[in-house]
Structure 1
């Protein structure tokens, strides 16, 4: 089911890999980004190089107005059939008794509320209840949701555990309306998120502890996302798929 796909946080890492792979599979793309316009432009160029339409849209998924702009851009491209809720943030390692309210509010607003807002707009367009013709939503969870992030990323882990439950609940809510909702749960993946969380050497520190003795790639996560959106996963709904190398 090709058509138009929105990838939030689509300028780099897993988001960029997903946008490019979906373009390879026939989708036109809305590439949302928060701040790095150059990276978003590079993703758009890669998609266009594959012969698909693409547009970059700046926006904070935790802002209702910005989410409206992202989906308006998708409406101009054609029929929305896929949403990848990839945008998310992490912060420097801290214990709960060190965390500020500002940190917590930012973490939950972007990682959890943002996914709710984007999924809400997708349902309004995809659901047969609203005159749509179906589609797929894939949310980005994390291995932190089950590892819990104690002493480092407790708040991040809590938002991703929330994504797991959100995925299951929404999947059941819209299952009879032509929409499938699933999630992927990446483990240690070679992206810039570790540096943004203040631990640029985290992969090197953990590599030997991983069952496969290597980190995953953004492309490997993107392949799981693309499968969940494909007709090959037509009876897969409410599932959180581990992409953790067995961790």
Structure 2
């Protein structure tokens, strides 16, 4: 039997092609080894970018006017809203950092008095306000009075936008691993954490509110009478073509 030299030459090339195809198809399989997890991070976005609770400061800058006097309506409402937030989620005391060295001591004192008045409107006693000072570096720039208190906040424990692995073809092992890139889901987790009104809701659920006894008894009475206990809305909804006009 005679074997042609052409078939002998093609055999190594065919073997190499089959091996390359097998490597590519292997990247589409589910990854189950611990080495991949350590190299690329966890597949679950909640493990890669967890939402954590921490005590962090909340601040409000109140700008000092040149002529002094009371706060303008916008800033007065901002301080009153900040006071209500302090009552709801604040921990510890409320601190006011007052600028010094800007040659506007009288205006700063008037602004501080306006802050105390706005805090009272928001339900916070001015007695809880601790006043500190900080030096002004540039008198030509606005130097606000900064109100700060600590509160429990939800956040991602690291910054988003990190790319530890090249998404291109330079890293063949990552490109063929079918693994999500590290930054995937970070922005979604950070946005979800910022939208939570009460971070404790992530830890435990709230108690159920008081049930409506009157509505419940009315439904039971309808069932006893053989009637449908569901709510019926008798308001007529106009048709779209009747409101737009069908001429």
Give TM-score scaled by structure 1 length: 0.25
Larger RCO, structures 1/2 (Cα 8 Å, 6+ apart): 2
Greater Rg by CA: 2
Give TM-score scaled by structure 2 length: 0.25
